[in-house]
Every structure is written in C-alpha cells, then in structure tokens.
Amino acid sequence: MPKYDYIFIDESGDPGWAFDPVSAELLSSEYYTAAALHMCDDSFGKVYEHISNFRYLTRMSRELKLHPEREIFQRLIHPIGTLADGDGGIWASAVHLDKRKYDGRYLKDGGPRPQDPVKFRNWVLRRLLEWHFSWAHLQSQQYDLVLDRVELTKDQTDNLQNYLARNYNLPTPTSISHAASIYVEPLQIVHHIATGFKNVVTLGSAPPDALSFIRSRDITTSQRAERYGKAMG
C-alpha cells in the first residue's frame, strides 16, 4: 500500500483580467486552465523510467515544453495515460474557464468579490481539487501539494493552506510546496496537461487521444449551475 500521495499542479493562462487603456486590447489570456497530476510514491519509478527513455530517444536534455499539436507531445503524454488506464497509481484532472464569459469571484472589477489574482488562482485550485477528489481518492493518509513555481509569500502560502483546510469537501494537504519544473519531471508532465487542455479549449476541438485519460470540467459557469451540466471525459 502506498505511504504517500503527491499532487502536482500547473496552470496555463494568467489569473488576471486587464485591457490596454489606449487600444482597449485584452492584455490577459482569454482562457485559464489548471491541471493536477496525482501520483503515489510507488508510481514514481514508472514515470521516471518513461521520461528517461523519452529523453534518451529524443536526445532532449533541456526542460520539456512541447506544443500540443506536435507528434512528439503525443509520444511524451500517451504512455502516462497508458499507466493511468492500467491502474498504475496515476490520476489526472483539469478544469478550465472562458474568462470573457466568466462572471464569478476575484477575476474582474465589479464581480461578486473584488479583483484579486492570487485569490482567483486559489479559488480555481480549490475547484480543481474538488473536482479531482470527486472521482480520484487518496491511497494513503497524507499528501503533498506541489505547485509549479507560483510566487507566493509565506503568508499567502499559509492563507492557502488554511483556505483549503476550511473546505470540508477536501482532504487537507500535509504540506504545500513550490518547485521549478526544470528539476521536477512530474511538473513538466502536468505542464503539458494544462497547456494541452488550454489548446483544446481555445480551438474548441476534442481532446487528442493522448489526453483521453484526463477528466476535465468547465468551471466558467457558477458552481450551482454546473451541477446540472456535463463534464468532459
């Protein structure tokens, strides 16, 4: 039985909403996606073996940042899906929203809560974890939440920990840490999940086969209305 769970988080898009005061051009991204890669301590070896083989065959030693429409993206992600589908101790979720249509809290001036990019990111993270834990469960009694190089002060990290702890729909993370994906391979995988789904949402197309193992949800609408909608995947 696994002794520890780890959930790696990355985002695609920015958590802000701003326009150029002269041209009125949108300066922020139109879409925002957050993704979670959930692994147990006994599944790390399988993932690292795949990434090591991938790097050897492709001669890629740098940080992996592959475009979702390239064939090499499929070669990186598809075996992760095979491990997940084969009960390899791996699960993945994603949430996404259209910021032009979104009228919820923290994103825009005049919304139900004041504009605050940090609180907006935390709110999306909470929604992501609620969605993830609605179908994927911890295999141990504790888990670490690992965020990809999110610049949070200690107070903001403590506030995030307390914010998640107050949500009775979620197991409270044992710890929250930040790391740079350049030296954490699972963060590079979840980066491709997030960017892959943002690309899908932007183009309005179906997810490619390599992302079919990921369960996703559109959180553009309110949480109450969402209960009556359908999730992708």
Helix (H, G, I), strand (E, B) or coil at 106: coil
* Residue 198 confidence (pLDDT): 86
Q: Look at residue 125 in the predicted model and tell me its pLDDT.
A: 95
Establish if 178 belongs to a structural domain.
Answer: yes
Res 227: pLDDT:
40
Domain of residue 63: give its range.
Answer: 5-226
CATH of the domain at 87: 3.30.420.10
Residue 126 lies inside a defined structural domain of this protein? yes
Is the model's pLDDT at 143 over the cut of 80?
A: yes
- Give a yes or no: residue 96 inside a domain: yes
Average pLDDT rounded to a whole number, residues 165-173? 89
Residues above pLDDT 70, as percent of the chain: 94
pLDDT digits (tens, 9 = 90+) for 180-228: 888 899 999 999 999 998 888 887 777 778 899 999 999 998 554 344 3
Flag whether 25 is in a domain: yes
Q: Is residue 232 part of a domain?
A: no
Whether 43 is covered by a domain: the verdict is: yes
Domain assignment present for residue 231? The answer is: no
Using alpha carbons, list the distances in angstroms from residue 41 to 1, 48, 105, 139, 140: 10, 12, 36, 10, 10
Q: What is the pLDDT of residue 233?
A: 40
pLDDT of 15 reads 92
Structurally, the chain folds into a number of domains equal to: 1
Q: What is the pLDDT of residue 178?
A: 87
Give dist(CA 147, CA 156) in Å, integer.
13
- pLDDT 10s digits, 93-133: 999 999 999 989 999 988 788 899 999 999 999 999 999 99
- Answer yes or no: are the C-beta atoms of 54 and 75 closer than 8 Å: yes
In a domain, 67, yes or no: yes
